[in-house]
Structure 1
Amino acid sequence: MTVEHEATGGAGDGTTTTHPRGIVPVPPTVTLALRAALAQMVVLAVATAATYFLQDTLRDAWITARAASTQQTVAAVTESAVEPPAFFPVALSLFVTFVLLALVLVAMVRAGARWALYSMTVVVAVSALVQLVVGTAPGAPLVIMALTAVSVALHGLTLLLLWHPAHAAYFRSAHNGHWARVIDED
């Protein structure tokens, strides 16, 4: 069976399911993985908005956690020269960075670029780790914890679908130096 037959599901008998112009269709599970990545962006947008609306709660939780870790009173931490971090600008920066990287990588993964698959894996994994650390911090509001759980689950689903064993042939043959040759057969 040739690489083309493996990538397109041909039976190995000379028949193939590629497009007549030689375009390799995007496997359905790759399409699902990319939709999960887009859903992550929506959840992250909601979480970023939540950090804006919950700034006081996040600041109070930080002060309480700081007081516990330094064995001071909450009043002492509040009066100290150490300022609580600004949570919203950090969340907004992380959101914009993730979305811009992910949008470029989604397009290239859809095109079958193997390097984009590896890059998308790293971006999704790092984002999940950052969200786990931040979203499960002591005193984090329940809304933030719930959004973290949903987002990390979507990250896991994205990685699971992207690394499905059936995609090996697609990422081996689809790109072939020209990303515009791939079509979506939905």
Structure 2
Amino acid sequence: MDRPTDTDTGTDAGTATGTGTVPRSVDLAIRAAWSLVGVLGLTVAVMAVFNDQVVGAWADHHEGAREAFDQGGRLGLERAGFATPSFLPVAATMIVVGAMIVWVLASFLRRGYRWGQLGLFATVLGCVYASIALGFVLGPPPVFVAVAVLSLLVEGVTVVCLWHPDTRAHVRGPWVGGPGPGAGAASAGSFVAAEEPTEGPVSHSG
């Protein structure tokens, strides 16, 4: 897989300066994306501590479940025939999945691939949807509202950094291996130069 290069020097986009450094906005975007993984871990920890309240919030949205939960908690729900979802294992699995996604996409963003930027942006949009749904729409315990607000703040910082002018200048071309900025102008210049007649007399054979 070819990596995007600087059109003037032929160096890799991530090492065009010779030091391997990236713009500060890129570094902040990656840090913010990892912070989202941390917020997800915090959500799982809160979910483990307030597990009964989470189940109670779920029962509020199912007819007859609230009464059964108030009478006997989880056992009351089971006796009434309700199968309560296992939120904790799913959330713990999402930490691993989210960390892997961020690790891969952040690695490619650091190297200057635009699809790394777009992939992280899509991931953040999914997190925004989840934060609003779980923090405000489903009526969870108040502590989850606070976690959702924190998550939305981190997601906002991530979006701003991903679309910062320095970040957009760092990525090269629309997709992997795409031409860097000015590649079209360079190609056009080469074409014009090739079409210009050479100086001096032209010799004809034969």
**TM-score (normalizing by structure 2):** 0.66
CA distance in 2, matches of 1:28, 1:73: 51
CA distance in 2, matches of 1:85, 1:116: 34
Alpha-carbon contact 2:25-2:166 (below 8 Å) kept = no
In the alignment, what sits opposite 1:147? Answer: 147
Is residue 160 from structure 1 mapped to residue 152 from structure 2 by the alignment?
A: no
CA distance in 1, matches of 2:119, 2:52: 36
CA distance in 2, matches of 1:167, 1:76: 53
Alpha-carbon contact 2:102-2:120 (below 8 Å) kept = yes
Is residue 128 from structure 1 mapped to residue 128 from structure 2 by the alignment?
A: yes
Q: Percent identity?
A: 27
In the alignment, what sits opposite 2:36? Answer: 40
Alpha-carbon contact 1:37-1:158 (below 8 Å) kept = yes
What is the aligned length?
157
Alpha-carbon contact 2:114-2:176 (below 8 Å) kept = no
State the one-letter code of the partner of 2:50.
Answer: L
Q: Which has the larger Rg?
A: 2
Alpha-carbon contact 2:48-2:88 (below 8 Å) kept = yes
CA distance in 2, matches of 1:47, 1:64: 20
Alpha-carbon contact 1:48-1:92 (below 8 Å) kept = yes
CA distance in 2, matches of 1:176, 1:40: 26
CA distance in 2, matches of 1:24, 1:75: 61
Query: Once superposed, which parts of structure 1, at least 4 consecutive aligned residues long, lie more than 4 Å away?
Result: 2-5
**TM-score (normalizing by structure 1):** 0.73
Deviation at 1:76, TM superposition (A): 4.8
Q: Structure 1 residues 81 and 172, CA, compared in 2 at 3 Å: closer, same or farther?
A: same
Q: Structure 1 residues 54 and 168, CA, compared in 2 at 3 Å: closer, same or farther?
A: same
- CA RMSD across the alignment: 2.6
